[in-house]
Amino acid sequence: MLRTLNKHKYIYQAICKNSPGYLVKIPFKGKTIQKWFLTKTYKSKTSALSAAIEWRDETCEKSGRKEYGIAWTKGSGMYGHAGIHKYIVYRRRRLRNGKVKRYSSKIIKVTGAKINGRLQEKKLYLSKYNSLKQAFEEALIIRKQFIKEMNQKTE
C-alpha cells in the first residue's frame, strides 16, 4: 500500500511489513520514471527518504521536467488575501510547420463568489504591469468590487 507524502512531490511511502520504504514516481512524456528506496538497504527511514529526495531532484533536472499548470499558490491566497492567487501557466501551441512552441505566462487570478451559478473570476497578466506590486494592488481593487457586488445581490 502506498501513501502520498504532502511535503515531497512524487514520493510515496510504502506501508507494508515485508518491504517498507519509499517509491519515487516521476511522470515524464507519457512514461513514468520510478525507483524504490527500501529502509533495509539504507538502514533507516530518514536516510532512505533523503536518498529518495536527492534522486528525485537529480532525475527531474536531467530529464528537464517542468511543472505544467499551477505554481506559487497557498491555501489562504496571495499574501494572506482570500481569492487572490498567483500562478504560472505553461502553454503549448503547434505551429504550421509542425513544431511545438512552448511559452509560459505569470498571472494573478482574482476570484469572487458564485452569482447566478457562475463563479466570478478575472486574470491579470503580469506582463502588462510594471511590477508585481502594481498588479497586486489592481487585484485588491477587483476583489473589493467582487465582494461589493456579492453583498448587493444577497440583500
Q: So where are the chain's domains? A: 2-63, 78-154
Does residue 9 have a pLDDT over 50? yes
Which cell numbers in the block locate residue 154? Answer: 444577497
pLDDT digits (tens, 9 = 90+) for 48-107: 988 998 888 888 777 766 543 333 334 445 556 677 888 888 777 888 888 888 878 888
Alpha carbon distance 42, 117 (integer Å): 54
C-alpha pair distances (Å), 34 with each of 19, 24, 59, 138: 16, 5, 10, 44
In one-letter notation, the amino acid at residue 147 is I
Residue 93, pLDDT score: 80
Alpha carbon distance 147, 142 (integer Å): 9
Residue 28, pLDDT score: 73
The more confident residue out of 94 and 30 is: 94
> Which residue has cell 458564485?
114
